[in-house]
Structure formats: structure tokens, C-alpha cells
């Protein structure tokens, strides 16, 4: 009896798993903008996702933010590190233009780390108040579905469940948002708007 129940549960799980797999696809396309862009998806209606447990890394190395663009899911903690022999600072004057979300993480020396948990989705323009020329970007995605463009301006987001989304392309702090219905593998191109 117990064995039969186990079999039923296993069969049902397999069926459910294959169904879930069937109703998802890869959203991909091109972004016609010079340099790197981020593409992030927001479910319609907006749905909250559990915060990721893994942290992300942003280094200050050779007087630059490395990587220049970091895309993370909302709720992710970013660990900043300093690899240079000079102190660096991390702050942002706004998130997506909202100055109320400006924040200074701090100033720190080589070998030390600072961290910050990003609870607001949007574009974070990173600056260092010690070196005004240092700029970096963190794009915070409202969902686990996001990507960065490759050298040819193409992006690809895997395992996106079928449904309606607002797809936002962030490029140099500017957003272009399109609505898209994902049904299996789906194509979505962003025009040269910015």
C-alpha cells in the first residue's frame, strides 16, 4: 500500500515537472544600443519572488568598478571589495532617478568588504566620492528573469514561465519597457530607442 502511494506520488511529480517544463521557454532578442544593456522582466500582475540566498560581487579594481554592469535579482546582497592600494567609496545618488533611494555604503581600504541588500528594483548608478571618474551600474531585476547583452547586443533569458511580462531594457541609465507574452520560446527585440 505504502509502496503504491509512493509510486503514485512519483508519477504525479514527474508529470507535474514535465508540464512545468513545457509551459516555459527562452525569451531572447536583440538590443540596438552601443555597449552593454540589461534586460529584466516583471510579471504582470507584479508578483513577489523569494530573495536569493547567493550574494553577488562588485569589485573596485584598477580604479574601476568591475564588472561595469552587474544585474541581480531584487533582494540580493552585493558584496563590494576593494583591490586597490587606495581607499574607495561606494554610493549612488538615486535608484532609477528616485533621489529618496540615494545611499552611501561607505569608504573602505584594500582587503575590506562592504555589503548592501538591494530591496528596490531599478537602475543603480554607482559612484565613488574619492574618484569622481569611477562609474558603475547595478540593475536590480524585479524577478529572477534577467540577462545582460552579449558583445553583439543579444540577450537570452532561460526558463521563463508562460505569461505576461513587462520587459525593461536598461542602457546607460535609460529604460525602454515593452510588454510581452511569453509562450514557449519567444522573441522580443528592443529598437534603437536609446
Residues between 127 and 146 with contacts to Cu ion, criterion CB under 5 A: 128, 130-131, 134
Integer angstrom CA distances of residue 96 from 19, 124, 156, 178: 37, 7, 23, 17
Cα dihedral sign, 136-140-144-150 = negative
Show Cβ contacts of residue 159 under 8 Å, excluding neighbours closer than 6 positions.
24, 26, 145
Residue 92 or 190: the one with the smaller Cβ distance to Cu ion is: 92
Q: Please state the closest distance from residue 125 (CB atom) to Cu ion, in A.
A: 15
Looking at 51-59, 100-108, 121-129, 182-190, which segment touches Cu ion (CB under 5 A)? Answer: 121-129
Indicate the residue among 59 and 123 with the shorter CB distance to Cu ion. 59
- Pick from 38, 88, 167, 190 the residue near Cu ion by CB under 5 A: 88
Question: Which residue number, 130 or 164, has a Cβ lying nearer to Cu ion?
Answer: 130
- The Cα 152–Cα 158 span in angstroms is 18
Neighbours of 173 (CB within 10 A): 16
> What residue is closest to Cu ion based on CB?
128
**Residues near Cu ion (CB under 5 A):** 88, 128, 130-131, 134
Amino acid at each position: 500500500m505504502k509502496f503504491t502511494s509512493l509510486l503514485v506520488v512519483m508519477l504525479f511529480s514527474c508529470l507535474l515537472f514535465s508540464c512545468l517544463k513545457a509551459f516555459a521557454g527562452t525569451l531572447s532578442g536583440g538590443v540596438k544600443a552601443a555597449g552593454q544593456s540589461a534586460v529584466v522582466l516583471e510579471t504582470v500582475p507584479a508578483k513577489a519572488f523569494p530573495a536569493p540566498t547567493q550574494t553577488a560581487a562588485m569589485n573596485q579594481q584598477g580604479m574601476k568598478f568591475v564588472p561595469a554592469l552587474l544585474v541581480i535579482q531584487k533582494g540580493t546582497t552585493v558584496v563590494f571589495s576593494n583591490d586597490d592600494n587606495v581607499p574607495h567609496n561606494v554610493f549612488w545618488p538615486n535608484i532609477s532617478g528616485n533621489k529618496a533611494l540615494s545611499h552611501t555604503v561607505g569608504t573602505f581600504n584594500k582587503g575590506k568588504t562592504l555589503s548592501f541588500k538591494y530591496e528596490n528594483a531599478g537602475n543603480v548608478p554607482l559612484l565613488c566620492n574619492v574618484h569622481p571618474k569611477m562609474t558603475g551600474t547595478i540593475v536590480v531585476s524585479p524577478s529572477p528573469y534577467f540577462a545582460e547583452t552579449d558583445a553583439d547586443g543579444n540577450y537570452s533569458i532561460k526558463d521563463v514561465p508562460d505569461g505576461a511580462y513587462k520587459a525593461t531594457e536598461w542602457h546607460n541609465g535609460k529604460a525602454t519597457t515593452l510588454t510581452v507574452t511569453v509562450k514557449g520560446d519567444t522573441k522580443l527585440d528592443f529598437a534603437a530607442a536609446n
